[in-house]
Amino acid sequence: MSSYELPSSIADDLEKFKEVYKDYLAGKVDNMLFKAARVPFGIYEQRERGSFMIRTKLPGGIISLEQLKRLAELAERFGDGRLHITTRAGAQIHGVKIGDFIEAIELLHAVGLTNRGGGGNTVRNITAKPLSGVAKGEAFDITPHLLALNLKMLERKDSYNLPRKYKIAFTADGEDSLNAEATDIGFAAKVRSGVRGFKVFVCGGMGGKSKIGLPLIEFLPEDEVFLLAQAVKEVFNEYGNRRDKSAARLRFLLEQIGFEKFRCITYFKCYELKGSLDWRLNLKELPELPSILSETCSQPLNVDEALWRQRFVIPQKQEGYFAVKVPLYLGDASSESLKELVNALAHKSVECIRFGADQNIYLRNLVEEELTALHPLLKRVSPLVDKPALIGDISVCAGALTCQLGITNSRGAFRAIEKKLANLPLDELSGLKIKISGCPNSCGRHLTADIGFYGKVKREGGVSYPAYAVVAGAAVKDGRAKFAENIGDISAFFLADFVAEALLTWKAAKADFKDFTAYFYDKGAHGLKEILARYANIPPFEEDKNPYYDLYVNEIFSLKGRGAGECSAGMTDLLEADKTALEKVLQEEPSPSKLSLIRLYATRMLLVARGEDARDALEAAKLFKLHFIDTGLISAKFTPLLEGEPQEGVVQLAEAVLRLYSTMDNTLKFTGELSEGAVKAVKLVDLRGVACPLNFVKTKIELAKVRSGDAIEVLLDDGAPIENVPRSAASEGHTVSEPIDEGGYWRVRIEKK
């Protein structure tokens, strides 16, 4: 049975988290440090203070019955009694109290689940279609590849402190190509001359400055998936913007350095990694299903069951087997109903359940007699089981009622749409995708929708009211990936009316078009804009207050309770917090206690730029000396101030630290003017054994990492390397010193132009 493995490093990481957790409860650690520790463990604070959400990673939505039972039990015991499926096919438990964190995580680990990397600037949940391996028409089953890649990413320390989140997706069929192109790195399965591999897209993503990914490699052998994913991650780690969260995603790095340079750096990062780590994927073939004769239903079906089968039962590529889509109401299912489902499937000896990024459950590998038995039970799992598929296909983010970044109540928008569409002939419109986000951040994946919405604030007569930007026309066909286009705005009050009218208009035109995309780019966009124009105005607040309430919210709309999002919570937040605290205490009257704080903040502040996290003042001083004084970034004259009772000289130390901070670039490297007495460090690049022209290409890559006026020292072999590399560097305008013969090899200093 397919399931992901937990490396031993996950248990080690939990022990470290326990220490921070214990110190936080004891008041020894502040809230900022605790947030930086808990968010990479998928623990987010909700709008209700003291109430948290725990997100569990489920690569490809893969989950065993034992694991599903455990999640249901945890939601019942520690949460609000429901399990929520995310738009990356993970699982969330809401309403968890801080005192239950550790026990909940340990109980997850006991059944092979983890929330490590469930949030923050980490490698996030790897996505794929929930019917991978059983869907007709796919190139091949990508399940072994995503499981093997997930294991390798989980066990690497550099997966948990990136400039921003790093998202990976797989697809095995052309119909789903947008999911591979709308992410940081996407693998689209293909077979060439009988060999399995992937077309690879990079630097896509949604949110601020959304971008369709660019094709990096037309055909990557299947065993090199981790090699390339790790190479791109390391390039991101080295060059990504760590200071500006709004420009920190991988696509902004591509925008900054250009595609050709990005590709060059990535290719040579692959070259380096091949000699330094175990890069091949350990692909484990999954057991084949036992052969059975294709069966037909021997019992007559009533109308409800026949309609249910038409909507949600999918014949698999394995003859005689079926998959069933279980549409969930807002992606939620009660603990009680999930445990009942687990019991009903307990006899299965093969994998039988996955979660989908459409926030639904997919049952797999069912035989004919199981279908009839399951139908009544599934109606208890979700009220949408007996409703048209279009309703269950609506994806919705958490929205403003729980998410700190949410602007509008997207879940209320779903309820309003469902109510409005109750009597429309929606089965004729099956396949249309509606997606809703409560803010522009795209958690509801609105840019991949036929019709999508994201929350915003508008004003009428100076009074704020909840509204949505409307997007439409996403293309999800291979070869023409395109995000949905913005076509206007609609008040939350009129949202459901707009959707109903838009669907009826599409229904009337549907017979003349292949799909909604073709309709939209012909006359649909104009038609939708005309509908929006009819709902453009809302009455003044004095005449009618209803439009100034969000949907299913009992108070006048406001942004009260909206705060800073925690998705990007990381170590750089600690740097800024220490800097602010240091600047504040420097303005106060000096005293022994104040001098102690100045020394602590000054020595701890920049450690995050070196990937360090000091537990106390002694450790901060020790690490500060190692990374900043011993390297020449801060003058050695401050060394005596790091021990003993704090002296007034720590004020000058703090000023030196702040000056060094002012030279820090977006990758957290220090360049430019250094502190008094400091010696500029020169990076050593050992290229012995590297032949021409690769040695010069690698030299160019290293020069790209430093600023103008900085230098590197390169070690080169005798012969062609020492003859060609310095000459090539000089021809590009760099300053090259006289090579030094080290006896068997050469050392040359190159200062960047």
pLDDT tens, residue by residue, 117-129? 999 999 999 999 9
Confidence at 586, pLDDT banded by 50, 70, 90: very high
Share of the chain above pLDDT 90, in %: 66
User: How many residues appear in the chain?
Assistant: 753
State the pTM of this model: 0.82
Least confident of 62-71, 520-529, 554-563, 652-661: 554-563
DSSP strand pairing (395-396 vs 185-192): unpaired
User: Looking at residue 363, what is its pLDDT?
Assistant: 98
Q: What is the pLDDT of residues 415-449, one digit of tens each?
A: 999 999 998 999 999 999 999 999 988 889 999 99
Q: Can you tell me the distance from the alpha carbon of 674 to that of 333, in angstroms, rounded to the nearest whole number?
A: 57
Contact by Cβ (8 Å): 308, 386: yes
User: Looking at residue 294, what is its pLDDT?
Assistant: 58
User: Which tokens sit at 620?
Assistant: 């901060």
Confidence at 403, pLDDT banded by 50, 70, 90: confident
Three-class DSSP labels, 688-712: CCCCCCHHHHHHHHHHHCCCCCCEE
| pLDDT at residue 297 greater than cutoff 70 | no
Q: What is the pLDDT of residues 139-179, one digit of tens each?
A: 999 999 999 999 999 999 999 989 999 999 999 976 667 88
Q: What is the pLDDT of residues 179-200, one digit of tens each?
A: 899 999 999 999 999 999 999 9
| pLDDT at residue 709 greater than cutoff 70 | yes
Confidence at 136, pLDDT banded by 50, 70, 90: very high
User: Which tokens sit at 111?
Assistant: 């059944």
Helices (H), 345-402: 368-381, 389-392
User: Looking at residue 479, what is its pLDDT?
Assistant: 63
User: Looking at residue 31, what is its pLDDT?
Assistant: 85
* Backbone torsion region of residue 446, taken as left when φ is above 0, otherwise alpha when ψ lies between -120 and 50, otherwise beta: alpha
* Alpha carbon separation from 320 to 140, 251, 382 (Å, rounded): 19, 44, 26
Higher-confidence residue of 555 and 575: namely 555
User: By CB neighbour count within 10 A (0-12 exposed, 13-18 middle, 19+ buried), where does 175 fall?
Assistant: middle
Look up the CATH superfamily of 143-276: Sulfite Reductase Hemoprotein, domain 1 (3.30.413.10)
Element spanning 679, H or E: none
| pLDDT at residue 305 greater than cutoff 60 | yes
Look up the CATH superfamily of 682-751: TusA-like domain (3.30.110.40)
| pLDDT at residue 262 greater than cutoff 70 | yes
User: Looking at residue 678, what is its pLDDT?
Assistant: 38
User: Looking at residue 666, what is its pLDDT?
Assistant: 73
| pLDDT at residue 101 greater than cutoff 70 | yes
Average pLDDT over residues 469-490: 87
Q: Can you tell me the distance from the alpha carbon of 117 to that of 40, in angstroms, rounded to the nearest whole number?
A: 5
User: Looking at residue 28, what is its pLDDT?
Assistant: 84
Contact by Cβ (8 Å): 693, 637: no
**What's the mean per-residue pLDDT of the chain?**
90
CATH of 9-110, one of 3.90.480.20, 3.40.50.2020, 3.40.50.300, 1.25.10.10: 3.90.480.20
Measure the CA angle with vertex 157, ends 156 and 162; round to 5°: 110
| pLDDT at residue 681 greater than cutoff 70 | no
Element spanning 82, H or E: strand 82-85
Average pLDDT over residues 265-272: 92
- Pick the closest to residue 251 from 159, 125, 166, 150 (CA basis): 166
User: Looking at residue 672, what is its pLDDT?
Assistant: 43
Per-domain boundaries in the chain: 9-110, 143-276, 303-335+344-388, 392-548, 571-662, 682-751
Look up the CATH superfamily of 392-548: Sulfite Reductase Hemoprotein, domain 1 (3.30.413.10)
User: Looking at residue 201, what is its pLDDT?
Assistant: 95
Least confident of 25-34, 352-361, 605-614: 605-614
Give the residue carrying structure tokens 């290229």.
Answer: 687
User: Looking at residue 230, what is its pLDDT?
Assistant: 98
Higher-confidence residue of 613 and 600: namely 600
User: Looking at residue 492, what is its pLDDT?
Assistant: 97
Q: Do 392-548 and 9-110 have the same topology in CATH? A: no
Confidence at 561, pLDDT banded by 50, 70, 90: low
Average pLDDT over residues 621-625: 93
Which of helix, strand or coil describes residue 714? strand
User: Looking at residue 477, what is its pLDDT?
Assistant: 61
- For residue 562, count other CB atoms closer than 10 A to its CB: 15
Chain centre to alpha carbon of residue 284: 26
Task: Give Cβ neighbours of residue 43 (< 8 Å, ≥ 6 apart).
Answer: 52, 53, 54, 55, 96, 101, 115, 118, 119
Confidence at 1, pLDDT banded by 50, 70, 90: very low
Average pLDDT over residues 325-339: 97
User: Looking at residue 562, what is its pLDDT?
Assistant: 60
Average pLDDT over residues 649-669: 87
User: Which tokens sit at 491?
Assistant: 């008040």
| pLDDT at residue 664 greater than cutoff 80 | yes
User: Looking at residue 445, what is its pLDDT?
Assistant: 93
User: Looking at residue 576, what is its pLDDT?
Assistant: 80
| pLDDT at residue 738 greater than cutoff 90 | no
Task: Give Cβ neighbours of residue 67 (< 8 Å, ≥ 6 apart).
Answer: 3, 111, 112, 113
Average pLDDT over residues 300-312: 91
User: Looking at residue 663, what is its pLDDT?
Assistant: 84
| pLDDT at residue 320 greater than cutoff 80 | yes
